[in-house]
Amino acid sequence: MKTLSFSELAISNGPRSHLLDEYEQEEPGEGSEDEWEQVGPRNKTSVTRQADFVQTPITGIFGGHIRSVVYQQSSKESATLQPFFTLQLDIQSDKIRTVQDALESLVARESVQGYTTKTKQEVEISRRVTLEKLPPVLVLHLKRFVYEKTGGCQKLIKNIEYPVDLEISKELLSPGVKNKNFKCHRTYRLFAVVYHHGSSATGGHYTTDVFQIGLNGWLRIDDQTVKVINQYQVVKPTAERTAYLLYYRRVDLL
């Protein structure tokens, strides 16, 4: 289990944290107009809230949901269903070398220290995120630009291995949907990669590799230059560029 201080959550994953936002709005167990009580596996109940986006053709392609559950001793679990367009993957840890490592880290339970209630009483809370609804196109955002306590930003230059074919394991899914997703609904194929060139977080250059269906092969796009490449060149690590965004399409929709 990961351990974070409540103050660190504000900067650990960028300018703000989902968990910080949730607790600034209301404490676990408090009422909300958009909440309901849900009975899960083993008859465990939780208070569930849902935030959603306006349904459009874009959300129908890229929109998914995560379930963020906050655990507090002597209180019901507090769950929030949050929409996403990209899954933001923290890759700071030395233990994270692959996309699968980053996905497993995403759903690992976090212990949060230093949270106090409105009555100034310090309580122990923990949080876990799981995948509630997978989109037709899954965009993985490798978080290479890390905010520092001093207010600056640094780029993480490390190789993260990513597969052409990606299966989202059942362990990453929310308990209520684990057995509702067939393997074909959890299996994706890479069709585009956006790279960042350079060592600085404040500058650099972006290029893209994209799978062209008519060509049945890969193209590398660098401004006005377009050239044919092979699949090995897409997944092969290089010193001058680092993968930043990974685009996967569900295989049953190919």
pLDDT digits (tens, 9 = 90+) for 156-166: 899 999 999 99
pLDDT value at residue 42: 55
Tell me how far apart the alpha carbons of residues 20 and 9 are, in angstroms, rounded to a whole number.
Answer: 7
pLDDT value at residue 117: 72
Nearest one of 66, 65, 34, 32 to 50, comparing CA atoms: 34
Q: Where are the domains of the chain?
A: 37-253
Structure tokens at 131: 């995948």
Structure tokens at 161: 């291995």
Q: What is the DSSP string of 18-71?
A: HHHHHHHH--TT---TTEEEEE-GGG-EEEEEE------HHHHHH-EEEEEEEE
Domain spanning 37-253, CATH class: alpha beta
For residue 172, pLDDT over 90 is answered with yes
For residue 5, pLDDT over 90 is answered with no
DSSP label at 85? S
Q: Is 234 helix (H, G, I), strand (E, B) or coil?
A: helix
Answer whether 47's CB lies under 8 Å from 79's CB: yes
pLDDT digits (tens, 9 = 90+) for 206-253: 999 999 999 999 999 999 999 999 999 999 988 889 999 999 999 998
Regarding beta strands 122-133 and 86-90, do their DSSP bridges make them parallel or antiparallel, or are they unpaired?
unpaired
Nearest one of 121, 86, 119 to 194, comparing CA atoms: 86
Nearest one of 42, 253, 50, 21 to 132, comparing CA atoms: 50
- If pLDDT is split at 50, 70 and 90, which confidence band does 21 have? very low
Cα distances from 155 to residues 103, 145, 210, in angstroms, run 20, 5, 24
Tell me how far apart the alpha carbons of residues 113 and 3 are, in angstroms, rounded to a whole number.
Answer: 7
For residue 27, pLDDT over 90 is answered with no
pLDDT value at residue 35: 54
Structure tokens at 183: 């393997």
pLDDT digits (tens, 9 = 90+) for 90-123: 999 999 999 999 999 999 998 877 777 777 777 7
pLDDT value at residue 177: 87
pLDDT digits (tens, 9 = 90+) for 29-50: 333 335 545 555 555 556 778 8
Higher pLDDT, 58 or 43: 58
**First-to-last CA distance in the chain?**
37
DSSP label at 120? S
- If pLDDT is split at 50, 70 and 90, which confidence band does 74 have? low
Q: The pTM is what? A: 0.79
pLDDT value at residue 173: 94
Tell me how far apart the alpha carbons of residues 49 and 51 are, in angstroms, rounded to a whole number.
Answer: 7
- If pLDDT is split at 50, 70 and 90, which confidence band does 190 have? very high
Tell me how far apart the alpha carbons of residues 245 and 88 are, in angstroms, rounded to a whole number.
Answer: 10
- Backbone torsions φ then ψ of 216, nearest 5 degrees: 55, 40
